[in-house]
Amino acid sequence: MIPHRNRAWLLLLPAVAVMGLVAVLPLLTVLNYSFHDIFTLESRYWVGLEWYGEIVTSRRFWASLARSTLFSAIVLSIQLPLGIAVALLLRATRHPTLYLMALALPLVVPWNMIPSMWLTLVGPQGLLGPSLIAAGFDYRFTALHTWALIVAMDTWHWLGLVVILSYAGLSAIPRPYYQAAEIDGASRMAIFRHIELPRISGALAIVLLLRFVDSFMIYTEAFRINAGGPQGATTFLSLDLGEDINAYSYGSAAARAMTYFLIVITVVWAFVQFTRRRSS
């Protein structure tokens, strides 16, 4: 008999069942596949940790991991400060809701359409084509230009999320805080550092975590722009996984997927522990 005070936990059972069906069960299936060499679903041969050993000892894996980490670091260093700056500017406008709605539009564009839109936009006959040609843009898509295009595309897609959450945090700051700072003669930088930034740190933590996970496993944009090229310059972890899947090497693909999952979940765990220690 469940005590009356604990019966509320029964309300979580539907959510637990759904999570088990859509998350835990597929994860366990992939984990099982990662220990096999799979020719067909009926023909599987146990190989143990062989796939994992090949992955972590290959230069391909470490090079892709470095590219994915660098890409996440670049987009986070651009999108977070820029998003906060835009949110601060919107606080001073008369109709911020209109601007927030405009910034949110890229968030609803399907991922597979975004690379095509940007390739058309920056193409020789596109809206930005003449300006890029005048600036010396190389349409052979060198490594630098490919990286710049992917970073710009990702920033266009996700900047609205950073702005919206930052603006929500700023809007929740009580007016008396600003009045007290004004009385004390605090500078604009001091207000941001001691009032605004601490108040939006919770929202920024969520943004940081979401954007890291998403940017770390970027696939569609990088693949559609240059398929990981030129010469593997934009071959991220997810593109390596896609190559294994396309080659029907399901055992290796499953091991890669589990390795990437462990990397992401470790970073998330470390981030949660760090934020808890700071808040305590």
Q: Is the pLDDT of residue 42 over 80?
A: no
Asked if the structure places residue 148 within a domain, the reply is yes
Q: Give the chain's mean pLDDT.
A: 86
Residue 2 lies in a domain: no
Asked whether the beta carbons of 220 and 115 are under 8 A apart, the reply is: yes
Q: Is residue 124 domain-resident?
A: yes
Residue 28 · residue 19 · CB < 8 Å: no
pLDDT tens column, 109-166:
888 888 888 888 887 777 877 887 777 766 677 888 889 889 999 999 999 999 999 9
CB atoms within 10 A of CB 188: 10
- For residue 251, the domain's CATH number is 1.10.3720.10
pLDDT(7) > 80: no
| Of residues 239 and 125, more confidently modeled | 239
**Is residue 86 pLDDT above 70, yes or no?**
yes
For the chain, the domain total comes to: 1
Phi and psi at 130, nearest 5°, equal -60, -40
Distance CA 84, CA 88 (A): 6
In a domain, residue 224? The reply is: yes
Selection from 238, 269, 218 nearest residue 61 by Cα: 238
* E-assigned strand segments in the chain: 36-38, 44-46
Tell me: pLDDT of 217 over 70: yes
Helix, strand, coil abundance in the chain, percent, nearest 5: 75, 0, 20
Mean pLDDT (whole number) for 80-94? 90
Evaluate whether residue 3 is within a structural domain: no
**Structural domain span for residue 243:** 59-279
Asked if residue 227 belongs to a domain, the reply is yes
Residue 33 located in a structural domain: no
Q: How many CA atoms lie within 13 A of 167 on its CB side?
A: 23
Q: Give domain status of residue 80, yes or no.
A: yes
